[in-house]
A and B are shown apart, each in its own frame.
Chain A
Amino acid sequence: MRISAAEPLLRVKNLHAGYGKVGILFGVDMHIMPGELVTLLGPNGAGKTTLLCAISGLLPWSEGAIDFAGHSLHRKGPRESGALGLVHVVEGHRVFTQSTVSDNLLLAGYDLPRAERMARVAAALDYFPEIAAKRHALAGALSGGQQQMLAVAQGLVRRPRLLMLDEPSAGLSPVLVDRVFGVLAQLRAAGTAVLLVEQLIEKALAVADRLYALAQGRIVLTASADEADLPARLEHAYFGQDANRSLASSSA
């Protein structure tokens, strides 16, 4: 873990969240330092998406605490957290298919003065020349990979201090995955913190500083991305939970 005297940009303490009566997260603790690229790993259903939604305020939560850049995010919606510089790009490249590429980006800068909005859209498009070429096309006409880039670009228009990306590689060809991850590296170099939820463990670890592993709503492993034997430790962390439980000792 990086040792630093600085305050963390994001701090999550003992967070419990879920949908209605269904608990998903059971006391999650994590933090992210300014400029750090952290990846959040975990098996399906572990609660990664739920955690991102709780942090960005898309999902209301009641127990625990989330602080971002010195502000409590309790009862703050995505609009307020976004204004503080916490930007969440949701999974599944959910862009507005009936609007053009440039309209999608303009909407990301909804609250900005017009000139500023235009400048930021242009800056965001610089990262992705392949969608800049299609700025007047409907977003629905883009390929899945281009839509994902557009979703990331929407996040960039909002000038995040922390960008949270939920499975940006899903459905992308390896070449495009490398493009997106390349942009992440650029962002970190520019001082933006990134929280990356990923299925592609190796690629994620290659760009990340640090990782958290989530399983069944709890953080089960936290490590620096360059530590040895991580895949085996991850597997152990996912499967080895509650090792004292046994139903049929044969399979344990």
Chain B
Amino acid sequence: MASDRTLPASRIRAAQPSHRLASLAPFLAILVFLALLPLWGNDYRALIGTRAAIYWILVAGLNLIVGFAGQLAIGYVALFAIGAYTASILAAGNLMTEISPALALLAAAAVGAGFGLVVGLPALRLRTFYFAMTTLGFATIVTQIALGWQSVTGGGIGLSGPSLPAPFDSAWGLYGLCVGLAVVATIMSANIAHSRFGRALIATRDAEVAAEANGISKPAVLVCVFLFAGAAAGLAGGLFATLQTYITPDAFTFDLSLLFFISVLIGGRGSILGPLLGTILLTLLPEIAAPLAAWSTFVYAGLLLVIVLAMPGGIAALLDRSNRQPLAANRAIVPNIASLGRLLGTARSAQNLTLSDVVLSFGGLRAIDGLTLSVRPGEVHGLIGPNGSGKTTTLNVISGYYRPQQGRIVLGDTDLPPGQPVGRAALGICRTFQTPRIIGAASVLENVMVGGTLSGRASFVEALLSLPRSHRDEAAIRQTARLALEVVGLGALEDVRADHLQHSELRFLEIARGLMLCPRLLLLDEPAAGLSATEILRLGTLIRAISRAGVAVLLVEHHADLIFEICDQITVLNLGRVLAHGTPAEIRVHKEVVSAYLGG
């Protein structure tokens, strides 16, 4: 789809090498330090280093769930324990014939992935506190089972962990293995984070409704990361059992779960480096300050409170200097209509949107009462009416958030299935929202790239391993997103965090995100609200140009002047019904309309 939308060579900015090196430098520094540690370390240091590496393997996966997807999984020690027990039980042969320790570790990862899914699935239905409670409950249950299933787990007495063959049987050998696996975990989680899946996770966290409108299926991405994080946790658990050589249920307290969870939050959400530093910090803290050992959980909790109240961005925000500089105050949004052709060059076949006799009631109230409406490609269709007349509700019905009791909605000759917002983007329907729904913590460019999620072809596993198809996806999405930003006039702001933008810029950002889909139909919900007169003028020009490129545009708006200037057709709603329909000139002189719209 993006192949023949090319930019002049001068416009293509590959990720600048210096910039990439700068972001990699901290990771390399940590790696060099870890590689040199054996030179001046004793076995105790090896133990601490190994433990930190193991914890990080778990946190690297958990980070995608807590930091990226925003799911408050506070009981991840359960998966850690499951991994530890799986590896130990299989290696000891308590349940079936014993298998080699290496296989036992792999089995721990596999079992961890399975239970990762079990622990995670409630997140698809439950929110924040409820989900947190289920993971907490799960953690309690796992410990209880470990205690109770004595024939297999050894109950309170415990059992031996798997012992790996040489060279991993020495302290430094195991250290090397764990650090190596930690590096792999870091790379994999970073690959996901920087792919369309990572952006999709953040989108479901910060702008769930917009994510759906862009075709992101929350269950699909969450299931993938729950599997990955579960596998990482299971493997980490197996390695932990190896390191400890002997495990009992006491080793898997809720305090450990907190360490994992708080590492992510101290590090900062949506970052890889921050949680890595957080894990190292929390692992070392009780070691460095021995008197703190008894108070370690207290300190963790205190840190969490301080982070939440005073520094929600965590370590990552402290390290991020680039977004501290204030933006130029007098910047202007100047859309570049000329580039629109290249962006929408291969626009899909033009199609009519037709609503026939749609009825939607909330309780006894008929919000939409037999609405019939047709929006043609290449036209801007205005939808106006007093508050509560059903304008936004109409958009929500078209984009699948509400399920009408009656009537059909047809795009071309496809019936739009009612109540399925996720499928709309694939049909070429995109929309903006009355309150812009954007990811404040992500850059402007990344926000627009969320709109390109559907155009990616690489699977989750390809993204995890950063295979060539994933690279190609990323490059194409990035290039299209830059073009879309240039079209709406935000090209200069692509690296800025979106929450630093002005409100008016967010409105154009949403349009750019929508254009990523090469839409057949663009639904705009009060795009001019909060804009200055000049900005409204430019917005009008942009909307007109988009429609002239063959897109059907349905525009809900209060600004009468904008409506009358750019619409080809206007439908006036009142009490969920069509009060009038016609060209702007006809509507202007329509007596009833004037009185209903102005209130008379």
Indicate yes or no for A touching B, C-beta below 8 A: yes
B contact face: mostly helix, strand, loop, or mixed: helix
CB distance from A220 to the nearest CB of B (A): 12
- B 559-600 binary contact with A (CB < 8 Å = 1; else 0): 111001110000000000000000011001000001001111
Known contacts A202-B600, A241-B561, A251-B584: A22-B529 contact under CB 8 Å? yes
C-alpha gap A21/B566 in the complex (Å): 26
Does any Cβ of A come within 8 Å of B154's Cβ?
Answer: no
- B 380-411 binary contact with A (CB < 8 Å = 1; else 0): 00000011000000000000000000000000
A251 and B529 within 8 A (CB) = no
Chain B residues positioned under 8 Å from A235 (CB to CB): 594, 598
Chain B residues positioned under 8 Å from A24 (CB to CB): 530
C-alpha gap A231/B598 in the complex (Å): 10
Does any Cβ of B come within 8 Å of A2's Cβ?
Answer: no
Does any Cβ of A come within 8 Å of B431's Cβ?
Answer: no
- A 191-209 binary contact with B (CB < 8 Å = 1; else 0): 0000000111110000000
- B 9-26 binary contact with A (CB < 8 Å = 1; else 0): 000000000000000000
- Residue in chain A with minimal CB distance to B503: A21
Does any Cβ of B come within 8 Å of A32's Cβ?
Answer: no
C-alpha gap A252/B600 in the complex (Å): 23
Chain B residues positioned under 8 Å from A20 (CB to CB): 503
Chain B residues positioned under 8 Å from A202 (CB to CB): 600
A residues 93-110 in Cβ contact with B at 8 Å? none
Most buried by A among B529, B560, B561, B594: B561
B558 and A245 within 8 A (CB) = no
CB distance from B548 to the nearest CB of A (A): 12
A238 and B598 within 8 A (CB) = yes
Interface residues on A, range: 20 to 34
Does any Cβ of A come within 8 Å of B502's Cβ?
Answer: yes
A-B Cβ contacts below 8 A, count: 68
B599 and A199 within 8 A (CB) = yes
Residue from B533, B584, B597 in contact with A43 in the complex, judged by beta carbons closer than 8 Å: B597
A251 and B565 within 8 A (CB) = yes
A201 and B598 within 8 A (CB) = yes
Chain B residues positioned under 8 Å from A238 (CB to CB): 560, 598
Chain A residues positioned under 8 Å from B560 (CB to CB): 43, 238-239
Residue from B526, B533, B537, B598 in contact with A45 in the complex, judged by beta carbons closer than 8 Å: B526
B residues 530-551 in Cβ contact with A at 8 Å? 530, 533, 537, 540-541, 544
Chain B residues positioned under 8 Å from A247 (CB to CB): 537, 540-541, 544, 565-566
B565 and A248 within 8 A (CB) = yes
Does any Cβ of B come within 8 Å of A173's Cβ?
Answer: no
C-alpha gap A168/B114 in the complex (Å): 58
- Residue in chain A with minimal CB distance to B384: A44
- A 10-50 binary contact with B (CB < 8 Å = 1; else 0): 00000000101111100000000000000001011100000
C-alpha gap A235/B564 in the complex (Å): 14
Known contacts A43-B560, A235-B598, A238-B560: A199-B526 contact under CB 8 Å? no
A234 and B598 within 8 A (CB) = yes
B residues 505-534 in Cβ contact with A at 8 Å? 506, 526, 529-530, 533
C-alpha gap A26/B462 in the complex (Å): 52
Residue from B503, B544, B564, B600 in contact with A201 in the complex, judged by beta carbons closer than 8 Å: B600
Chain A residues positioned under 8 Å from B540 (CB to CB): 247
CB distance from B448 to the nearest CB of A (A): 19
A239 and B599 within 8 A (CB) = no
Residue from A21, A231, A241, A246 in contact with B600 in the complex, judged by beta carbons closer than 8 Å: A231
Does any Cβ of B come within 8 Å of A216's Cβ?
Answer: yes
A45 and B564 within 8 A (CB) = no
- Residue in chain A with minimal CB distance to B529: A45
Chain B residues positioned under 8 Å from A234 (CB to CB): 598
A248 and B566 within 8 A (CB) = yes
C-alpha gap A24/B566 in the complex (Å): 23
Does any Cβ of B come within 8 Å of A229's Cβ?
Answer: no
Does any Cβ of B come within 8 Å of A242's Cβ?
Answer: yes
- Residue in chain A with minimal CB distance to B594: A235
- Residue in chain B with minimal CB distance to A231: B600
C-alpha gap A168/B530 in the complex (Å): 27
A200 and B564 within 8 A (CB) = no
B598 and A22 within 8 A (CB) = no
Residue from A21, A41, A44, A201 in contact with B502 in the complex, judged by beta carbons closer than 8 Å: A21
B566 and A41 within 8 A (CB) = no
- A 211-252 binary contact with B (CB < 8 Å = 1; else 0): 000001000000000000001001100110110011110011
B558 and A43 within 8 A (CB) = yes
- Residue in chain B with minimal CB distance to A241: B561
12 A-B pairs within 8 Å (CB atoms) are namely A20-B503, A21-B530, A22-B530, A23-B503, A23-B530, A44-B386, A45-B558, A199-B386, A235-B598, A239-B561, A247-B544, A251-B585
Known interface pairs A20-B503, A242-B533; 8 further A-B residue pairs with C-beta atoms within 8 A, sorted by A's residue number: A22-B530, A23-B530, A45-B559, A200-B600, A234-B598, A247-B540, A251-B588, A252-B565
Residues of B within 8 A of A (CB): 386-387, 435, 502-503, 506, 526, 529-530, 533, 537, 540-541, 544, 558-561, 564-566, 584-585, 588, 594, 597-600
